[in-house]
Structure 1
């Protein structure tokens, strides 16, 4: 099955971010990992999303890393840049920089730091970011709305999405649905056929593709890009073996209570690569306990 023609489509792994012992970004290791994912069938990379601990880094750190990818030969249109930040002007600065490097799109979560927000405020916020980026960069940036209410506490309603698409038809081109609700993902694809629906929950990607979904921004592609590519290329004919492997790998994220999923992914990647530098995370996240790490490693070995 051919993925529908949207402004953005395919597999865009939510890249894990390797950390030096001082908490700074290990850019060479990050670029090497990204290049491996691109050579393994990914269409592009998503930098500094939730899986990439993005909001734990400054605007300057995130820009410098994106610049390093481009300097290393990764094309700007192979990058989605997470613009999510507490201050609106920080999101704008990241957006202006994304335009500068010719990024594919900017990923933007609704403001999540006030209770009782209304759709009007969320729509105004996105509109201001879009307009400010256009004005300061001299060119507009496609926007992927980031829907992750389980994390942010704030989601995009159908009404807000419709308003944004009407007001900004050339910029609001996609939504990343991390609701982990396949019915919701499919509803978005069916309600907004012009919107590129990129699904975060891996088992929901293929069912959503079958009703018009555009692809995925997901964490598992850090570990199994070829598996995700294979399933997404034939969403109507996913083998039982591939489906089981995907679910078994995802099961390692919750082998024991209280495991931060980013830390669990990093433990898997450390086991996969033999590189324990991947175990480090940025505060406020914590690395897995020795017992948790051992359980993840053993579980991963059993699957390979």
Structure 2
């Protein structure tokens, strides 16, 4: 599967106006979205440090090149992945009879009770290089069940590093998902508590924003089952560019910064 996407940013003060415009554009009320994101990093393949240094003076040039090739091969494919928990069972947005979007209790993030969480393992590759009209990258999502998911991933070579919360509203226009959201910081917990700890359910309004300005991200994206089908890709690209044009007075949608969307582990972290 491939994801094509465009990104924009709006100020906190423009959030309600953006929801109003998207409600009119998509002819639907916003769908509440609240997700817990657990970040995992792949461990370096065992024994990589035992590969002889390419700087050894007693090695022939051809041997040095071969060792360099082996190291590059073993370091390839070391990425971050996310375990995403979709929190269900609460409402934060309701529609008024006149079609306006109304926030409950003037609080964009309402407290929730009796919530359930559905987990999905998500991998997103680094976007394609070069100048692109939309960001394009490989995407994989796998539904997960069970209570020992952190331990399960650890057994596959992925160790837990951190977690955060994403809250916002989704709209749908044909094949396009428009997600207006922001990221909240969650208290640090040990790996074994990353899933079981749900203290955020009672004090979510007090969680600090990752972006101190309180701004929101707008993401317009299309998921394609066959990313190698040029006809499907062209059609999806035209659809995203059409949405970009339609919303240009409200938000500037552009391809995402490739470095910011890079899911590979930094080279200096692979020996930790």
TM-score of the two chains, using structure 1 as the length reference: 0.22
TM-score of the two chains, using structure 2 as the length reference: 0.24
Bigger fraction of residues in strand: 2
Bigger fraction of residues in helix: 1
Rg bigger for which structure?
Answer: 2
Structure with higher RCO (Cα < 8 A, 6+ apart) = 2
